[in-house]
A and B are shown apart, each in its own frame.
Chain A
């Protein structure tokens, strides 16, 4: 029992980690809260579905295309909506509301295009289930875990070792100093949002084979993902990854050992407990102080 819960916890934790990553990246880069991440997951799963099922492309190609499409969407979102609002010097709540509006648009346009029934994501691997360390699970589930871990590793390498990644971190830490070093902060912010959108879309595409594709798939997980970001320290990239995995583990274990009915509530309970007791998270991330 423990092993099964452990694997399932890690799998869903990996997804939460990806989402929390998106939140922390955006907060670091723009100092903003976004409610659109959840529905970007949904967008990703539908995009993946379109490429893989309806257009019949190879899984890996669909994967890349989904990422690229979502990446472009993220950049457009940042340039078109967020930057426009920031330039108008509106109070921050409007930007949050704008992201909520975007989430409504994504959710309902997906509903308009694909309907409200759950669409089945075709099986990706020829072998239906896989048994590792004596634990049997859907092959897609193991793939999900593996891909999220690889993605986090790639992101870490990108942020640390590549010139552009370091530039992005610099721009997030101090935009003015970064600009004086010659970093194009406008570009890095756009790329950050695009990256966050891309990560969310991959999470969606990974979820598809496990849960099927439906319109509210992302928003529930997206909202719970906030807890993962807060646990690790909102704005801390590595904290988000660890926080997400912790969240997934706690959720699965509590549901397994205690009660399954309040499963969704656990994430929010953790969120509110952390906010009230330790808002800086386990890594003591001093978030951007705003009055």
Chain B
């Protein structure tokens, strides 16, 4: 039985890999321009960002409603370092991730004392403070509301096809890292903290240290996503750190399903596709988005991934019941005959 599953899984992965490889070329051919490719690149960047949020919230249970701050700060750091000091990008991007990680750790230290509601308020405050700081920076060094224009990555340029594979590399790396993290001792500590902080403490887990690690890793990933984002789009403004963006990340995470690899991908893809699909509504886009969001929350609280899992379980159960009934009927038939 076990041997049957392994080759199936390999074939699945190989098939997926092939699909991912062909997909960009296909879309470019069918649609004719690079727009779908750009959307796919943005999806991949958001996957990295939401993975960061998943590690913090999905696995460690720490709610963050200000995660867009890390995203935007990562973007601003690499952009400003490049703009003012002409540092090359292979220095500014890691520098951006270092900054966001340090900030995440600093925030984590007092925030690890807080429980659910207060933690969410603290993260909201963090996000808002970041927004106002970027919007009215001392001396205007962030160019305030105007935002900053940033250079692209030179060897990628405007070719979104090259960006696609560049980002795909990062996404695969991040997802592999996530898998190994959640299987490691640290990952299990996260889950323990999420389920019952007191019990985790009683088991000898240093809750505060683990929470700080969770925040740091989460901030690192989201900051990295921001740094990549700004070089793709070549522009960033304080608006990206507004609560709207944090809520978007959270929605993507919850929609797809927390604490899973597929869930994150599903969530980001579905929300981003949804946003594009209702873009034609223009000024009614956000209204429709709000209504849809509310309907989905009330009707499908497990997220799409949870909903699909429930569906699969229901189908399996029905099949098993059917088989059991057939068996029962056969047995009673035998008894009856006897």
Contact = CB atoms under 8 A, between A and B. Distances in A.
A226 B125 CA distance: 9
A102 interface: yes
Interface stretch (A8-16, A80-88, A151-159, A247-255): A80-88
A98 B294 contact: yes
A166 interface: no
Chain A interface size, as a band, is: 35 or more
A93 B132 CA distance: 26
A111 interface: yes
Contacts of A291: 115-116, 196-198
B121 interface: yes
B246 to A, nearest CB: 10
B294 A81 contact: yes
Interface stretch (B31-39, B89-97, B284-292): B284-292
B298 to A, nearest CB: 6
Contacts of B297: 85, 94, 97-98, 101
B60 interface: no
Which of A90, A104, A109, A261 has the most CB atoms of chain B within a 10 A radius of its CB? A104
Given A33-B121, A291-B115, A291-B197, A108 B284 contact: yes
A46 interface: no
A261 B111 CA distance: 27
Contacts, number: 121
Interface residues of B, number: 42
Contact of A97 (B129, B251, B289): B251
Interface string A162-190: 00000000000000000000000000000
B286 A265 contact: no
A102 B113 CA distance: 30
A289 B115 contact: yes
A100 B247 contact: yes
A277 B278 CA distance: 44
B105 to A, nearest CB: 15
A271 interface: yes
A226 B329 CA distance: 63
Interface string B116-135: 11101110111011001100
Contact of A105 (B120, B133, B290): B290
B132 A279 contact: no
Contacts of A27: 117
Interface in A59-115: 81, 84-85, 88, 90, 92-94, 96-98, 100-105, 107-109, 111-112
A6 interface: no
Contact of B118 (A85, A223, A261, A279): A279
B308 interface: no
Contact of B122 (A98, A105, A275): A275
A211 interface: no
B87 interface: no
Interface string B290-302: 1101100110010
B114 A275 contact: yes
Contacts of B197: 291
A16 to B, nearest CB: 15
A254 to B, nearest CB: 14
Given A85-B301, A90-B301, A271-B121, A279 B114 contact: yes
A90 B307 CA distance: 13
A258 to B, nearest CB: 13
A93 B63 contact: yes
Which of A88, A103, A276 has the most CB atoms of chain B within a 10 A radius of its CB? A276
B280 to A, nearest CB: 15
A287 interface: yes
A287 B136 contact: no
A101 B290 contact: yes
B279 to A, nearest CB: 15
B254 interface: yes
B286 A108 contact: yes
A124 interface: no
Given A93-B57, A94-B301, A268-B132, 10 more contacts: A93-B250, A97-B254, A101-B294, A107-B290, A223-B128, A234-B118, A262-B136, A275-B118, A279-B114, A291-B116
Interface of B: 57, 63, 65, 110-111, 113-118, 120-122, 124-126, 128-129, 132-133, 136, 196-198, 243, 247, 250-251, 254, 283-284, 286-287, 289-291, 293-294, 297-298, 301
7 contacts: A101-B294, A104-B286, A105-B291, A105-B294, A111-B283, A276-B122, A279-B118
Q: Which 7 A/B pairs are nearest by Cβ-Cβ distance?
A: A104-B290, A108-B287, A276-B110, A105-B290, A265-B132, A101-B294, A272-B125
